[in-house]
Amino acid sequence: MRKKIALVVGARPNFMKAAPLIKNLRENEPTLEAILIHTGQHYDRQLSELFFEQLGLPEPEIFLKVGSASHAEQTAKIMMEMEKVFLDLKPDLLVVFGDVNSTLASAIVSAKMGIKIAHVEAGLRSFDSTMPEEINRMVTDRLSDYLFVTEVSGVRNLKNEGVASDKIFFTGNIMIDSLVSNLEKAHSSNILNDLSLEPKKYATFTLHRPSNVDDSNILSGMLRVIAAVGAQMPVVFPCHPRTKKRIEEFGLMSEVPNGNVRVIEPLGYLDFLKLQADSRIVLTDSGGVQEETTYLRIPCVTMRENTERPVTVDVGSNILCGSDPERIINTTWAILNGREKKSAIPKFWDGQTSNRIVKVLKTKLA
């Protein structure tokens, strides 16, 4: 009898991590039945449907449509619906990805129902408990039976927390699998022509973390950063719905620069990958962008006080800069004036992570 593996996704970062794994399972492992569940945490076309299309993700067998809400309400809705799903589906294993609310909620339900859990992207720590993602990561790791780690710091963190070594598997970064398999396709994107940009002559800027956008003073400072960089070169700012909403709520529309700054809607996966790959520099508060720019060896300024992905700073092209506008601007000028750090691609960020994960799962479920 085939073993049932339920793979849960909910938000945009999950889609890039799930795509290579579900493809690998369905094409190469006839003894394992992969069932895709989408909670609907991200549900609009730009943040969900378009990513499914471009990443070649199949239609989910189950779509919960939970939508937006507070952390507690959203998590509760997912838990209530997921319990019904698991009672009917009776999976042998749950696979969850990253650190979104769908990850936490599904893991809690699975643990209470005695279903084994595999966490892809386990062990990452910012050591900042004010980040909702940090809570999600830590609880999910504590409940999981198989922990698939992206970088050496993850192995160290889990061992320091008392996780048994036989639960930890250093398999690499599965998001890079998606990047490697789609990079050539992304190069055919017309996004640069659409925005009248020349390769290596523009900056990309992303901003969505609550710590940066939920405080009007910090958000205002970030808009000053965009304006300063935009005075030197074109800046593309795909504006996250949360960020746009806060700018409007705080009455900061007049501070949003125009002219050299292109404020656009969120992009699909291929267009954004192309935008990153041809950037002169990227400024961000996104964990995934830190990873993608590291693989692409694009200078990245991370506008946060900490990162749960220290390997991007230790060996990659990432510079952790905090949220002080002057420091961000000065660091950006230093990079643009040629003072870039030497970088390398971390171990197992090679496009083969899904193969390593499937090998472990096949053995454990045999």
Q: Is the pLDDT of residue 355 over 90?
A: yes
**Catalytic residue of the set 38, 42, 119, 208:** 208
Supply the pLDDT for residue 138.
98
Half-sphere exposure of 23 (CA within 13 A, CB side): 18
Query: Do 256 and 224 meet the contact criterion of CB atoms below 8 Å apart?
Result: no
Confidence bin at 63 (pLDDT 50/70/90):
very high
Q: What is the pLDDT of residues 87-115, one digit of tens each?
A: 999 999 999 999 999 999 999 999 999 99
- Across the range 318-333, mean pLDDT stands at 97
Q: Is the pLDDT of residue 41 over 90?
A: no
Q: Which of 88, 91, 107 is nearest to 99 (CA)?
A: 107
Residue type, 128: D
Q: Is the pLDDT of residue 271 over 90?
A: yes
Identify any residues that bridge with 37 across adjacent strands, giving them in sequence order.
Answer: 8, 62
User: Rounded to an integer, what distance in angstroms lies between the CA atom of residue 107 and that of residue 96?
Assistant: 7
Q: Is the pLDDT of residue 45 over 80?
A: no
Percentage of the chain beyond pLDDT 70 is: 98
Q: Which of 188, 270, 284, 189 is nearest to 236 (CA)?
A: 284
User: Rounded to an integer, what distance in angstroms lies between the CA atom of residue 90 and that of residue 250?
Assistant: 47
pTM above 0.75, yes or no: yes
Structure tokens at 142: 């504590």
| Domains detected in the chain | 3-172+349-365 (3.40.50.2000), 184-336 (3.40.50.2000)
User: Rounded to an integer, what distance in angstroms lies between the CA atom of residue 329 and that of residue 35?
Assistant: 46
Q: Is the pLDDT of residue 46 over 80?
A: no
- Across the range 187-208, mean pLDDT stands at 97
Structure tokens at 176: 């890079």
Residue type, 12: R
HEC secondary structure over the chain: CCEEEEEEECCHHHHHHHHHHHHHHHHHCCCEEEEEEECCCCCCHHHHHHHHHHHCCCCCCEECCCCCCCHHHHHHHHHHHHHHHHHHHCCCEEEEECCCHHHHHHHHHHHHCCCEEEEEEECCCCCCCCCHHHHHHHHHHHHCCEEEECCHHHHHHHHHCCCCHHHEEECCCHHHHHHHHHHHHHCCCCHHHHCCCCCCCCEEECCCCHHHHCCHHHHHHHHHHHHHHHCCCCEEEECCHHHHHHHHHCCCHHHCCCCCEEEECCCCHHHHHHHHHCCCEEEECCHHHHHHHHHHCCCEEECCCCCCCCHHHHCCCEEECCCCHHHHHHHHHHHHCCCCCCCCCCCCCCCCHHHHHHHHHHHHHC
- Across the range 175-186, mean pLDDT stands at 97
- Mean pLDDT taken over the chain: 95
User: Rounded to an integer, what distance in angstroms lies between the CA atom of residue 145 and that of residue 117?
Assistant: 5
Give the orientation angle of helix 216-230 with respect to helix 325-336, to 10 degrees: 20
The answer to whether residue 38 is catalytic is no
To which residue do tokens 């749950």 refer? 94
10 Cβ partners below 8 Å, 6+ apart?
38, 39, 40, 41, 42, 66, 78, 100, 101, 102, 103
